[in-house]
Amino acid sequence: MLKVTIDNHTIEVEEGTTILQAARMIGGDVVPPALCWYSKLEGSGGKCRTCLVKVSQGSAKDPRPMPKLVPSCRTLVADGMVVQNKTSPEVLEARKAIVEFLLINHPLDCPVCDQAGECDLQDLSYDNGKDVSRFEESKREFDVIDIGSKIKLHMNRCILCYRCVYTANQYTDKRVHGVLYRGDVSEISTFISQDIDNDFSGNMIDVCPVGALTDKTFRFKNRVWFLKPMNAHRNCSVCSGKVTAWMRGQEIYRITGRKDKYGELEDFICNSCRFEKKNISDWTIEGPRNITRHSVISQNHYEKFKKPSVIKPLEERTEQMPDQL
């Protein structure tokens, strides 16, 4: 076992563990943000640079610090390594600069974006972004296109994390899209305007950290904070059938895969479950999902009425449930 210290928290991990994986084992504010790395996608990581950390001690054998900030998703832990994330002013300044670069070409159309409220870039820019942009040049612009019968592509919002490419490459029968061209004209697209059509193409929507890929069956129908995410399942011969049903009243507005606390899918689900099963009779509703308090989706989902105390009538009028109702 290798011993590593991250922001004054020490943990023992197995050989081959990255700094980001070790930080997630510790949890809390120690964990660097990541927009491109995905634990279930081989080869992901190293694209967005938001997870940069400072290695102030390389190892117990070689205590010299690494000369530059390193991507925690790609850097392996060494025995005796000391890492700084939130405790390093250099890392925080670099992260602000990276967010500024990511937003250079971003349209900042959160009010009309279906990803608003569950967008990783939105959360990152809120924590590390600036309230004023120094960018004066013209932003790059792409046409909004249908990249599949059920998927809409807003290339203006894309940060080129490659997650959708890795998903299509590793979880579908045939990948027909990828990154075309180079530099600031790079774009996600198909080469000869082919439609992405396979049983698991909808998972590209779930892995996208921004609003570049959206569900055409859900576009502009509702805001996620008005919906209640419920665990649901059905017998499916293609996938596990375990999903999150986003409901308002007795109506299902959309179906997504279940995600963990880092926004990663627990299971990849098929297109039939995602796009075609929108009736409540299609599903067995298990109960509400746990929602982290930092998410706007928890609005109105986490408190219940509690009878006021006779002794302290103005205090403890409500009680919080573990995460939500």
All domains in the chain, ordered by first residue: 2-101 (3.10.20.740), 110-215 (3.30.70.20), 224-298 (no CATH)
| The predicted structure's pLDDT at residue 304 | 47
CA pair distance 301, 289, nearest whole angstrom: 10
Sequence-separated (6 or more) residues with CB below 8 Å from residue 11: 3, 4, 5, 22, 25, 26
Confidence at residue 323, expressed as pLDDT on a 0 to 100 scale: 46
What is the mean pLDDT of the segment spanning 304-319? Answer: 52
**How large is the average pLDDT for residues 256-274?**
94
Pairwise pLDDT comparison (34 vs 183), residue with the higher score? 34
Mean pLDDT of all residues in 114-121: 91
**Count, residues in the chain:** 325
Q: What is d(CA 149, CA 159) in angstroms, rounded to the nearest whole number?
A: 23
Give the pLDDT of residue 131: 81
pLDDT tier at 308, thresholds 50, 70, 90? low
Q: What is the mean pLDDT of residues 271-276?
A: 94
pLDDT, residue 294, reads: 66
Burial (0-12, 13-18, 19+ Cβ within 10 Å), 20: buried
Identify the band that residue 153 occupies on the pLDDT scale cut at 50, 70 and 90.
very high
Instruction: Provide the token pair at 92.
Output: 């925080």
Quickly state the pLDDT bin for 299 (edges 50, 70, 90): low
66-107 pLDDT per residue, tens: 999 999 999 999 999 999 999 999 999 999 999 999 999 999
pLDDT band at 197 (very low <50, low <70, confident <90, very high): confident
Cα–Cα distance measured from residue 197 to residue 203, given in angstroms and rounded to the nearest whole number: 12
Q: What is the pLDDT of residue 318?
A: 45
Give the pLDDT score at 303: 44
* H or E element in which residue 120 lies: helix 120-128
Average pLDDT taken over every residue of the chain = 88
> Which residues, listed in sequence order, are joined to residue 12 by a DSSP beta bridge?
3
Residue 167 has pLDDT above 60, yes or no: yes
Residue 3: Cβ within 10 Å count: 15
Strand 187-190 versus strand 177-180 pairing type: antiparallel
Q: How confident is the model at residue 325 (pLDDT cuts 50, 70, 90)?
A: very low
Interatomic CA distance for residues 97 and 112, integer angstroms: 26
